[in-house]
Structure 1
């Protein structure tokens, strides 16, 4: 596995992507990254500690919104594959993906701001529950309308095995950079603004503005490349996705390579997102840190992950995607297991473990999304159809269901074990031992087990660099015959 790949036949290809196209594509993930990291890290404590929603209802509002969002993903994915939703004229000018991205941009930002409003007093629990659930559902709609077509562009901008890894390294450099910017903004606001409600609303407004602008830059900077690929690969007919939905689902879930990638992605991102969601509670309730310190922990993870993206990308070109995933996840497992053993006051060890986790988190960003376009080409070889939107949507669909259930269970466990919400006079109440154990289990053993599952699935992933080259050669031969 560690030897350099053998020489493979040259494929008919177009000119490689220039730096400007990669830069524009990468910038497109900034907004989604900012919104995701803030929702993951701070929506739960905002709902329980500031809006004063009970942990149980806070968990239910996130579960309902994420399940709704998850079931919406395949619908939008299939519709964006067909490409005729907005009419032939708009499709001819903008392609299959870009109309969705442009339509979603502004509502996406406005709804993110609404997520941090407090429209009812704490006594009106069902009013708060209804408001946050509806806002989250609509935010999910517009987030999906943008993010699914955006991620599906990876397979449409290049077919090159290594260039896809490079493209995703640009994407996740901006993604991690956006996360870091959001966390720095959050820390600054937490330090400068005293009122908790104003803290979160200020963060929401600033980050919403920053999130929307890169969407338009991404469309502007990548559209010419996407048109060029579609024109030169004219044998690939965009509107061939005509199988009935049940037949499409059957072929997707019997695709061994896809199920391996889905499993790798689920295990990695479940661990990442569950940890991000529980860190604010872990930092304050177990480690005894201040609220403004929790962004620093996540910054240590994200900053390390950002710095390692280019390193892992270069290593991947020599040893392959699977080997890189094994390396990074090994560091990550050590970190997650270590977090469970930490004791209050061991702050230096906490940050060292966060840095160690960042080594693995970087591969969670890079590897699954680099594998998926290869799976899409295998599917095209087997079915004769291009279904990027379907594959991307079902990958995210399963992840959102899994995360929604996990967040609901974690928050419900806090309520069952007697979580005490902060007050104006007691900002960090001493939590019962059962609450502290629930928090530690959520940050240590549960993510560790999930990561081990990801390693097992990565071992069985069947598409090597050589196999991918064979797939592309067979596709090229087929297109010549058409």
Structure 2
């Protein structure tokens, strides 16, 4: 599955587990902070701190998981057994987090968020690393990640249909009902998607890894300039996305005046993201991945302030703005993950080891760290300006919410454009990397097959 274009049906089967990944990511960013800070009564500052600490737990789990997945393959391959292990962990922790029995304290939320993130790391990291190893081709890697990202984005509107329907029916305890419904969606879909993936998609045979000292493994990471640029950009993109997600319910309700349509409007946002992925891929085939990232970042910088022009109570205007903001939803994740596969080629050439799991652990880590810092910073900022998530707010507090909501994507995307502008790997450079790696592999095979008495 390395030297040819993968069929759409096989890519669809492979991408299935991305649906519960996306379905889990949205409520963690949008609904759970709102649910635990408001109806569950923990407050903004406590919830912001808990979600930040839970994300910082990934500082340890992500790199450890990346190293383990690279070093300890099974007879199934390098990644498949880790996908299986994630299922019971995620199912149990999702039930405990999404269906809590009140009252709950900060320790309960913190403990189960830790377990939830462990399962999420096992699933997400193994799936992304496997995607990178399906092909060595510069553009085919983008196509694979595009499929995977489209399925991940598809998980968002699928899970959003549940709270949207619940909001429409308006039950007595709407907050608890919509959060519980999303949790059950994840619990049911996850094992089915993993089973289909394992049944229909074979994994390439793992090549044994040569032993290397700790310094020999760590030092190349610091020398890898494209890696540093990509991780910095990913941190900023993660910050911007999590900042918007954590404020969206408040913004839609208090600033736009369309609270009863909030979940349906969010559906349009993610459908816009899915629709623009093929366009983004075509652009990247022509101008390169990193230039496409710069283009998308600049679009966000100049388009985000249009949010200020949404008239209060105008659902159609809010819908139009959200559809076009969806341009950036799938762009960064699709292209960053494809770019990371190219970055891992540099490391393989430098160290002689294929450390895809570690590199994707670093990528997921920076995105999560950006999200963790964003939730903490945003909730602390809202608390400082006097915003109250449980009651009435003065006009100044609501206006401050709107300012923060727009400023976060503008500033972060401006920095992304500046960082990625001089990114050094394009089609030509990646092709040269693969040529040198193929030459090395051929030499190793020839040396292995050469009789012992020959020089």
The answer on 1:281 being equivalent to 2:258 is no
1:463 Cα deviation from its structure 2 partner: 0.5
Q: Separation in 2 of the partners of 1:463 and 1:70?
A: 27
Aligned to 1:7: none
Aligned to 1:439: 401
Aligned to 1:97: 79
1:250 Cα deviation from its structure 2 partner: 3.1
Conserved 8 A contact 2:237-2:370:
no
Q: Secondary structure of 1:392's match? A: helix
1:343 Cα deviation from its structure 2 partner: 5.1
Q: 2:412 aligns with which of 430, 443, 450?
A: 450
Q: 1:418-458 CA distances to partner (integer Å, 9 max, x unpaired)? A: 33344xxxxxx431245324422331112211001111122
> Do the aligned partners of residues 268 and 31 (structure 1) sit closer, same or farther apart at CA in structure 2, a change above 3 Å counting?
same
Aligned to 2:164: 187
Aligned to 1:4: none
Larger deviation, residues 179-188 vs 313-322 = 313-322
Q: Separation in 2 of the partners of 1:405 and 1:218?
A: 33
Q: Secondary structure of 2:57's match? A: helix
> Do the aligned partners of residues 174 and 436 (structure 1) sit closer, same or farther apart at CA in structure 2, a change above 3 Å counting?
same
Q: Separation in 2 of the partners of 1:431 and 1:240?
A: 61
The answer on 1:202 being equivalent to 2:181 is yes
Q: Separation in 1 of the partners of 2:16 and 2:342?
A: 23
1:176 Cα deviation from its structure 2 partner: 0.9
> Do the aligned partners of residues 405 and 264 (structure 1) sit closer, same or farther apart at CA in structure 2, a change above 3 Å counting?
closer
1:342 Cα deviation from its structure 2 partner: 4.3
Aligned to 1:24: 13
The answer on 1:149 being equivalent to 2:116 is no
1:52-451 equivalent positions in 2, closer than 5 A: 52-83=41-72, 91=74, 93-121=75-103, 127-192=104-169, 193-196=171-174, 197-222=176-201, 224-227=202-205, 230=206, 237-240=207-210, 242-244=212-214, 246-290=215-259, 292-340=260-308, 342=310, 344-422=312-390, 429-451=391-413
Q: Separation in 1 of the partners of 2:211 and 2:166?
A: 48
Q: 1:301-339 CA distances to partner (integer Å, 9 max, x unpaired)? A: 211110111122122222221232233223322332222
> Do the aligned partners of residues 38 and 135 (structure 1) sit closer, same or farther apart at CA in structure 2, a change above 3 Å counting?
same
Q: Secondary structure of 2:133's match? A: helix
Gaps of 5+ in 2: 445-455
Q: Separation in 1 of the partners of 2:79 and 2:24?
A: 21
1:50 Cα deviation from its structure 2 partner: 1.4
Q: 1:82-125 CA distances to partner (integer Å, 9 max, x unpaired)? A: 015xxxxxx1x21121111101113212211211233343xxxx
Q: Secondary structure of 1:380's match? A: helix
Q: Secondary structure of 2:30's match? A: helix
Q: 1:326-373 CA distances to partner (integer Å, 9 max, x unpaired)? A: 332233223322224545335433222212211222312321111110
Q: Separation in 2 of the partners of 1:35 and 1:95?
A: 26
Aligned to 1:5: none
1:4-19 equivalent positions in 2, closer than 5 A: 14-19=3-8
> Do the aligned partners of residues 226 and 21 (structure 1) sit closer, same or farther apart at CA in structure 2, a change above 3 Å counting?
farther
Conserved 8 A contact 1:297-1:354:
yes
Aligned to 2:442: 480
Aligned to 2:26: 37
> Which stretches of structure 1, 4 residues or longer, exceed 6 Å deviation after superposition?
none
Conserved 8 A contact 1:330-1:360:
no
> Do the aligned partners of residues 479 and 220 (structure 1) sit closer, same or farther apart at CA in structure 2, a change above 3 Å counting?
same
Q: Separation in 1 of the partners of 2:218 and 2:117?
A: 22
TM-score relative to the length of structure 2: 0.91
Count, aligned residues = 442
Q: Separation in 1 of the partners of 2:305 and 2:284?
A: 26
Aligned to 1:3: none
> Do the aligned partners of residues 468 and 350 (structure 1) sit closer, same or farther apart at CA in structure 2, a change above 3 Å counting?
same
> Do the aligned partners of residues 480 and 42 (structure 1) sit closer, same or farther apart at CA in structure 2, a change above 3 Å counting?
same
Gaps of 5+ in 1: 1-11, 85-90, 122-126, 231-236, 423-428
Q: Separation in 1 of the partners of 2:364 and 2:400?
A: 27
Conserved 8 A contact 1:157-1:226:
yes
Q: Separation in 2 of the partners of 1:83 and 1:360?
A: 36
Q: Separation in 1 of the partners of 2:249 and 2:355?
A: 39
TM-score relative to the length of structure 1: 0.86
